[in-house]
Amino acid sequence: MSAQDTSLATFGAGCFWGVEYFFRQVPGVLNATCGYMGGNNQATTYEEVKKGKTGHAEVVQVEFDPTRVSYEELLQVFWKNHNPTSLNQQGGDIGTQYRSTIFFHDKQQKAEAEESKLALARSGKWGIRHIVTEIVPLQQFHRAEEYHQDYIQKNNLPSCHLEY
């Protein structure tokens, strides 16, 4: 399969280790890469991002085969595996670097993400709590350091995220 036959999606939902882990479990996902996005667009490191001063979010860039898994299905994985009503926090991870965000790659992704967010809000799953997830244009992706890639699998750890 060539790169022309694949698509990309980028999500921030707290600590990228768990986000990456969940997306790697999805049939049709070819790769999930931890990184940083949404900041000052300068190259950055984990040490800088975790201080919360660069404006970056921890994200996972998902490469997928759209003939096997749709963007809509990836959105469902995103919503299911974090709390989209928690502003700048997922569990014990606190700061703007852990914000709930969808970075859309094109107009179609933007429309699907907005529709999906609205459907989730209308579902009543979160009661009266407001969904704070940002839906913003793609920015420069900075790949995280190698030790972050496939961290849960490499270290034989349980996922650090809860299903919601």
Evaluate if residue 55 carries a pLDDT over 80: yes
41 within some domain: yes
Residues marked as catalytic:
15
45 within some domain: yes
Nearest-angstrom CA–CA distance, 9 and 106: 10
Residue 35 has phi, psi (to 5 degrees) of -170, -165
Q: Which domain holds residue 31?
A: 3-154
Q: How many helices (H) and strands (E) does the chain have?
A: 5, 8
Q: Is residue 24 within 8 Å of 151, Cβ to Cβ?
A: no
The pLDDT confidence band at residue 159, using thresholds 50, 70 and 90, is: low
Over the stretch 66-122, which tens digit does the pLDDT of each residue have?
A: 999 999 999 999 999 999 999 999 988 999 999 999 999 999 999 999 999 999 999
163 within some domain: no
Nearest-angstrom CA–CA distance, 25 and 48: 29
Helix (H) or strand (E) holding 79: helix 71-80
164 within some domain: no
Written as one letter, the residue type at 121 is A
Number of domains in the chain: 1
CA-closest candidate to residue 142, choices 39, 62, 73: 39
What's the mean pLDDT when you consider all of the chain?
Answer: 91
Q: pTM to 2 decimals? A: 0.92
99 within some domain: yes
92 within some domain: yes
Evaluate if residue 163 carries a pLDDT over 90: no
Predicted local distance difference test score (pLDDT) of residue 1: 60
